[in-house]
Amino acid sequence: MPFRAEAMYSNVVSQEEAVESLCRDIASDELPRSILFEGPAYSAKLTTALETARVLSCERTTPAEPPDIDRETYVPWDCDCPSCRRHRILAHPDLLVIGPRAFRPEIAAAGAALVTDNCVQTRYLFLRSCRKLLKRFDFQLFAHEEPRLTKAMPSVRALEELSDSIDPSRPAAVAEGKKTAKAVAEALALAEKLESLVASTTPVFMIRAAENWARLAPNGKRKTVIIENADRMLDSSRNALLKVLEEPPETAEFILTTSRRGAMIQTVLSRVRSYRFARRPPAVERGIISRVFKSGFESGLDRFFTQEMPTAGSGLQLLADRFADSVCAEAETRNAYRGAFLTVGIPGESPESVLAEAKAATGAFGASDDSYEYSFIAFLGSLSWRLRELARSAVPDELDALARWNAAIRDAQTGYESFNLPPNTLADRMLESLRRSS
C-alpha cells in the first residue's frame, strides 16, 4: 500500500512537504525528541504540533512501523482510542502548550462558524480555540508559582464550563440559536480577560516547570511540550530551554514553533530538527475560510483573523491602511514618486494623526488597557499586509522604500516581543524610522 501522509494529518491542509517528512520520521521511529516547525503565520504549525502529540500518544500504534503502511488505517483523526479522544478536545494530561499568541481572533472566528452552522466540526473548532487559551493556565506550568494564577482562576473555570457545554463528545451538546450565540459571546468576554494575563514572552519559570513535568513518567505513551513563538524569549528563558533541549527526556517530545527563524538563536537551532511550513496559496486559504470557518471572506487568513480583532473606530486594519497611506503620501511629496501608493488614505492627513487615532482606539496599544495588549502586534501585522498589497503595483524606487519600511516594522516587533519595550515608544520610533527611510 502506498505511503499516504494525508490520512495521518488529515486536518492539516496544503503542507504536504512538512507532513510527509513528519510521517516518515514517525513511521520509522526516527523523530528527534526536539523539533522546530518554522514558517509564516497561519500556516498550520500549531495544528500540526497538536496532531503530532496525538499521533505519538495513540494507543493503537507501535513504533517503527514500515513506511509503506496503509495510512488510511494509521492514526486517523477519528481514532476512538481513549488517548486520541482526549487529544482531540485538548484535554490530555500528557500535553502542555506554552507561549504567547493572539487568541481572541480565532475564538471569534470559530464562534461565528458555530453560530452559523452548529455541527460536530464547528463544535470541535470552537472548543479547541478556547482550550488553546486555557492550556496557558495549566497548573503544571505554575508549579511553585501558584499565586500567579489567582487573578485568572475565576475566568478559567468559567471558560472551562462553557467549553465543556460545547464538547461534541458529550451527550448533551449546546443547543441551537440564542443559547449558542450567548455561549460564544460569554466565551469572548472571558477570553478578553484571560488573554490580557498571558505573558507576551515565555517566562523562565514556565520553561523550568515544563522541564520538570516532562521528566516525570507520562500517563500514556508520550508527553509533549509545545512552545509557540519560541523566538519570543528573554535570555533567561532561552538558557533554560537550551538545557532541556540538550538532554530531553526519553518519554517526552518538545515541539517549538516560530514565524521568525532569524530571531531564533543558533544554539537553539542546532539542537532541533526543522520542518518547514510554506505560505499557502490564496485560493487554498480562501477555501479554509469557507469550509472551516463558514465565511465568504475573500482575502487571506492573516487579513481574515485581523478583522476579528475587536477595536474601536474604523477597525484596526483600516487604521493600519490609513497610516501606511499617509506615510506613502509624505514620501511621494518628498521624492516625486509616481503616485500609485495612495488608495484609501484621507488626503492631507498626517501619520501622527492616524497613529494618535490608533492609540486612542486600542488603549495606547494596551499600555493603558490590558484588554488591548494584543493590538500592537496586530497593528504591525496589518501594516506588513498593507505593504505587500502596495508592492504589487510599485515601481523599483517604491519597492526599495517598501523594503526599508518593512524592516522598520520588523524592528518595532522585535523591540516589543523580545525586549518588552513600551508599544507607544516603539510606534513613535517606527514612524521616525519610516520617514528616514523614505
Same domain, 233 and 161: no
Q: Is residue 301 part of a domain?
A: no
Give the pLDDT confidence score for residue 61 in this predicted structure.
65
Same domain, 160 and 73: no
Q: Is residue 294 part of a domain?
A: no
Q: Which of the two residues, 169 and 306, has the higher pLDDT score?
A: 169
Total domains in the fold of the chain = 3
Domain limits at 411? 309-436
Q: Please, what sign has the CA dihedral across residues 372, 180, 149, 151?
A: positive
Q: Is residue 302 part of a domain?
A: no
Contact 344, 334 (CB under 8 A): no
Expressed in angstroms, the distance from the first to the final Cα of the chain is: 59
Same domain, 36 and 130: no
CATH number at residue 12: 3.40.50.300
Same domain, 174 and 263: no
Q: Is residue 5 part of a domain?
A: yes
Angle at the Cα of 206 from the Cα atoms of 203 and 210, rounded to 5 degrees: 150
Distance CA 365, CA 360 (A): 8
Residue-wise pLDDT for 128-167, tens only, equals 999 999 999 999 999 999 999 999 999 999 999 998 888 8
**Strands 273-276 and 223-227, how do they pair?**
unpaired
From the number of C-beta atoms within 10 Å of its C-beta (0-12, 13-18, 19+), residue 217 rates as: exposed
Contact 54, 88 (CB under 8 A): yes
Same domain, 7 and 23: yes
Last residue of a domain, one of 227, 259, 277: 277
Give the pLDDT confidence score for residue 266 in this predicted structure.
92
User: What average pLDDT score do residues 410-419 get?
Assistant: 84
Give the pLDDT confidence score for residue 50 in this predicted structure.
97
Same domain, 322 and 430: yes
Cell numbers given for 404: 526599508
- Mean pLDDT lowest among 148-162, 215-229, 366-380, 415-429: 366-380
Same domain, 61 and 110: no
Give the pLDDT confidence score for residue 241 in this predicted structure.
95
Q: Which of the two residues, 334 and 224, has the higher pLDDT score?
A: 224
Distance CA 59, CA 355 (A): 54
Same domain, 426 and 330: yes
Cell numbers given for 22: 513528519
Q: Is residue 266 part of a domain?
A: yes
Going by pLDDT thresholds of 50, 70 and 90, the confidence category of residue 176 is: low
User: Looking up cell 524592528, which residue turns up?
Assistant: 411
Total-model pTM: 0.73
Contact 128, 97 (CB under 8 A): no
Cell numbers given for 161: 464550563
pLDDT above 70 covers a percentage of the chain that reads 86
Same domain, 45 and 185: no
Q: Is residue 304 part of a domain?
A: no
Same domain, 72 and 125: no
Same domain, 185 and 111: yes
Same domain, 160 and 262: no
Last residue of a domain, one of 277, 298, 332: 277
From the number of C-beta atoms within 10 Å of its C-beta (0-12, 13-18, 19+), residue 234 rates as: middle
Give the pLDDT confidence score for residue 285 in this predicted structure.
93
CA 287 to mean position of chain CA atoms:
19
Q: Give SS3 for 411.
A: helix
Q: Is residue 143 part of a domain?
A: no
Last residue of a domain, one of 277, 301, 326: 277
Q: Helices 104-116 and 178-195 meet at what angle, rounded to 10?
A: 180
Q: Is residue 283 part of a domain?
A: no
Contact 133, 159 (CB under 8 A): yes
Give the pLDDT confidence score for residue 325 in this predicted structure.
85
Q: Where are the alpha helices (DSSP H) in 117-169?
A: 120-134, 153-166
Residue 64, Cβ neighbours under 10 Å: how many? 10
